[in-house]
Amino acid sequence: MYTREILEQPGKFVKNGIPVFGTFKGHPDRLDIRGVKNPYSFHFPKFLSNLRIKSRLSLYFSVGDYIGHVNFLDAKIFGFAEVVFWNAKTLKKFVYHSVMGPRKRFVPHDMNVAATGCYMNTRYIRISWDRKSGRISLNFKLKGDSVRPSVSASLNGRFSDNLATELTSILPSPTMRRCTGKYNAGFSLKGSITVTYKKQAPQTMAETEGLGFLDINRTYMKVHNQGEFITGIGSCNDKPVLFRIESTSQEAANPDRYNGNMLFYDGKVTVLPPVVITHPFGIKKDWVIQDTENMIDLSFTPSSDNINRVSIFLLKAVYNTIFGKLEGTLATCDGEKISFKGFNGISQKYNIRL
């Protein structure tokens, strides 16, 4: 069965200008990949190379009937915040986004105590964590318009939960000259969401237990980047299941040794092999996700799609965020087969030009 060695945290991920590659237990004190020596063909000064590092922070949540994610993109000269979620039963879609002006950092390096947010009057979005208290929080309050309702949420999770799981990866991007830093965490969430339609009374979901999945990514970007990934979040056999499977143009040249695919099942980590993701009839039809190690055999059936186009300065990006259902099997490191049918998932396909 496929496996990758899970190592102890190395302290720093760049030593003497060279990335420290590997898959590491738990969380670092800082997720920082600055300082790589000559990451590109042209020998830019380090501060210019550091500007090519783009960061993304996403928190996925599944609470009650609602499933979705909050996403922050840090492009140095501006930031982009987005909240996309669905009512999984009715497929009602809620989409809110905003562009933020220059700020020192939209996605924090500190993995012990930090916060990031959008603090506009009509778009308040905040994600924060504190290791000392073991807490992670998501809060948003978003004003609606003639089409969209106003929504607010307060969701809280705990890193000290028995089911909380963490994993860090430093991967070639795609060559050994450059690197990607990834951090993932799964945990229980508890809270409520309120939806208020114009001229109607607020509809508040009772405080409910759910699941959260945190994904933080920092990458020395190429000029053109594309990829797709699938996040599964829910329960199977009364046990929490969270996984991330991806295939991108930043993928390491040796993906069997270095990749970020992983499964958190009942509080235990399973590293997964590289995959091939196909959708022969288009991204709005069935996706097929398979590996060569007989650990991953899944199909993803889209239910609702959201497309977002960003064009600011030199950055042009197209993101498809799709809610749908997963069916098939995943194998754990213990050889247990987890079977899915009607399992909630969110897929994303992106194309970025810097």
Residue of 187, 190, 133, 185 whose CA lies nearest to 156: 190
Q: Quick one: pLDDT at residue 314?
A: 66
Length of the chain: 354
- What pLDDT does 234 receive? 95
pLDDT computed for residue 42 by the predictor: 77
pLDDT value, residue 352: 83
- Identify which of 304, 252, 343, 268 has the alpha carbon closest to the alpha carbon of residue 93: 304
pLDDT reported for residue 308: 85
Q: CB of 347 within 8 A of CB of 228?
A: yes
Q: Cβ(219)–Cβ(74) under 8 Å?
A: no
Number of other residues whose CB lies within 10 A of the CB of residue 285: 11
- pLDDT, one tens digit per residue, over 188-245 is 999 999 999 998 999 999 999 999 999 999 999 888 889 999 999 999 989 999 999 9
Which among 105, 100, 108 has a CA at the least distance from the CA of 130?
108
Q: Which amino acid is at 64?
A: G
One-letter identity of residue 205: M
Identify which of 120, 122, 124 has the alpha carbon closest to the alpha carbon of residue 138.
124
What tokens were used for 308? 């977002």
Cβ neighbors of 205 (< 8 A, separation 6 or more) are 63, 64, 65, 66, 192, 193, 194
Low-confidence ranges of the chain (pLDDT < 70): 312-314, 354
Gyration radius of the chain's alpha carbons = 19
The owner of tokens 């922050």 is: 72
DSSP string for 280-292: TT-TTS-EEEE-S
- Alpha carbons within 13 angstroms on the beta-carbon side of residue 118 total 27
Q: Are 113 and 61 in contact (CB under 8 A)?
A: no
Residues 6+ apart with CB under 8 A from 257: 4
3-state SS, residue 8 = coil
Closest CA to 108 of 72, 141, 136: 72
Whether omega for the bond prior to residue 280 falls within 30 degrees of 0, making it cis, is no
